Amino acid sequence: MFKVFSTLMPVAIVLGLTACGSSTSPQTTPPNPPANAKKIIVIGAGMSGIKAANQLANAGLQVQVLEARDRIGGRTWSDRSWGVAVDLGASWIHGISGNPIHTLAQSLNTPLVEWDYDNQTTYDASGNIDNSIDTKIESANDAVLATANTTPSNDPNITLQDLVDQTRSNGALNELTERELEFFVNSSFEQDIAADADKVSFAALTSTESFLGPDVVFPQGYDTLVTALADGLDIKLNTYVNAIDYQGSIVSVQTSQGTYTADYVIVTVPLGVLKKDVILFNPSLPQEKLNAIEALDMGVLNKVYLRFPEVFWDNNVDNLAQISEQKGHWSYWINLSKLTSQPILLGFNVASFGTEIESLSNQEIVSQAMVQLRKFFGDNIPEPSDSIITRWANDPFSFGSYSYVPKGATASMRQDLAAPVNNQVFFAGEATHSEYPSTVHGAFLSGQREASRILALLNN
């Protein structure tokens, strides 16, 4: 994957993360709260919810976590049905320098492996290795960056595709064929954002930040972090929240398992769930928050894990890319055999195509994937012995992979989404974090932010 996308955003200046709240190191077992302690309900047991719950429980409050799924972790989900961990949701820590997720992983002695994006082989649409594309992509990157530097950063209607089209109209992308240009857009932008370039606001990207350093992955599964943070917490699974009533001094939460009450509630469900209006708020949420929920959107990144009887590809290569006939169709793969010691390839499909294939059966998806792999490695490669396939767009507890700011919306809407209501109902999750949206560390920091906000209220 060409990591051009990150160069369009300002480099993060990492200062005082601990000022956002407690240490990133979890206390293994929260203390028993006193009988008169304030009660908090956290809705959602993903990274943001579990971080908030862990921090509040360690501060001596009564904390109840309600989770609709039959597991914790949310979009941090590691499948171990093959005897090794494969991450169906979040996979990477993006930038380890000052990243609180990396700090947490280190505190837990979690094994990490640095991922080498440059160790890549790129194929053309016919399956031939293309050794010239790297130089072309580098030139295209420089050209788009030059256009970005002269493009208004306050116009929400300018999309990433507009940026590319403007660069192209200047003649700077003439060396790319149409397929190569689409490959550039998909591999450099859409694979990261999980949305079509013509839907994404360029201005919103200029307000986000990133951590320096390499990206790393988890051989034992990303969800080991959530599991550690959740130790000792009171978590009720298979508990669907239907309504939140905050008319009085006590907040009432109606669920599929009965009604719960608390002094404060933190809502950490994904933006996609809020957009579906599956939770009724009484009174209705403020108009600014409703506007943000409507305007912001969810991207889609779906994964297809294929396990084979043997490794038939070059095991020294970590990343496989394809300048596909149609933009983004099976254009990026990674080799997981070194990481898992099993013959596993992982295919990524994002944005419109990632959503489109969810309507296909598993066998149809695998068949499509094998057509592409046989272009690279020949007709005699074996069929996969097994597959694991995600469908995040239709997941009833997320309705998408992670958030983005579409054309016409603004990054400030994330702040509207995060704003507390009546100092009783609070909101966390990656979509609510302005600086680090669409990331696990953004989710973590948002949970830390809301826990700290509640503790500040109690200490006043």
Q: Which H or E run contains 454?
A: helix 440-459
How far, in Å, CA of 57 to CA of 63, rounded?
6
Which one-letter amino acid corresponds to residue 93? I
How many Å apart are CA 415 and CA 448, to the nearest integer? 15
- Whether the CB-CB separation of 141 and 2 falls below 8 Å is answered with yes
Q: CB neighbours (10 Å) of residue 41? A: 25
| Cα separation, 433 vs 130, whole angstroms | 39
User: Where do we find the tokens 């080498």?
Assistant: 116
The DSSP string of 85-134 is -EESS--EE---TT-HHHHHHHHTT---EE--TTSEEEE-TTS-B-SSHH
Token pair of 333 as six digits: 């793969």
Distance of CA 187 to the CA centre of its chain: 17
Is residue 215, in this structure, part of any structural domain at all?
no
Q: Is residue 93 part of a domain?
A: no
* The pLDDT value given to residue 33: 81
pLDDT value of residue 28: 53
In a domain, 17, yes or no: no
Tell me the β-bridge partners of 387: 306
Contacts of 171 (CB under 8 A, 6+ apart): none
Which has the closest alpha carbon to 63: 86, 82, 91, 44? 44
- Please give the DSSP secondary-structure letter assigned to residue 6: G
Q: How far apart (Å, rounded) are the C-alpha atoms in residues 124 and 110? A: 38
CATH of the domain at 261: 3.50.50.60
> Using an 8 Å Cβ cutoff, are 292 and 413 in contact?
yes
What is the span of the domain harbouring residue 231? 32-73+223-297+410-459
Residues 436, 188 contacting (CB under 8 angstroms): no
In-domain check, residue 236: yes
What DSSP state is assigned to residue 187? Answer: I
Res 93: pLDDT: 96
Q: Is residue 307 part of a domain?
A: no
User: What is the number of structural domains in the chain?
Assistant: 1
How far is residue 81 CA from its own chain's centroid?
22
Among the listed residues 115, 339, 303, 73, the one whose alpha carbon sits nearest the alpha carbon of residue 219 = 339
Residue 194 CB burial class (10 angstroms; 0-12, 13-18, ≥19): buried
Strands 332-335 and 344-350 come out as: antiparallel
Q: What is the pLDDT of residues 93-119, one digit of tens each?
A: 999 999 999 999 999 999 999 999 999
Q: What is the pLDDT of residue 12?
A: 27
| Structural domain includes residue 60 | yes
Positions in the chain whose pLDDT score sits under 70: 1-29
- CA 52 to centroid of chain Cα atoms: 18
Does residue 59 lie within any of the structural domains?
A: yes
DSSP for 215-280, please give it.
Answer: -EE-TT-THHHHHHHHTT-EEE-S--EEEEE-SSSSEEEEETTEEEEESEEEE---HHHHHTT-SE
Q: How far is CA 238 from the centre of its chain?
A: 23
Q: Looking at residue 355, what is its pLDDT?
A: 98
Q: Does residue 207 lie in a domain region?
A: no
| Burial profile 417-449: b = 16 or more Cβ within 10 angstroms, e = fewer | bbebbeebbbbbbbbbbbebbbbbbbbbbbbbb
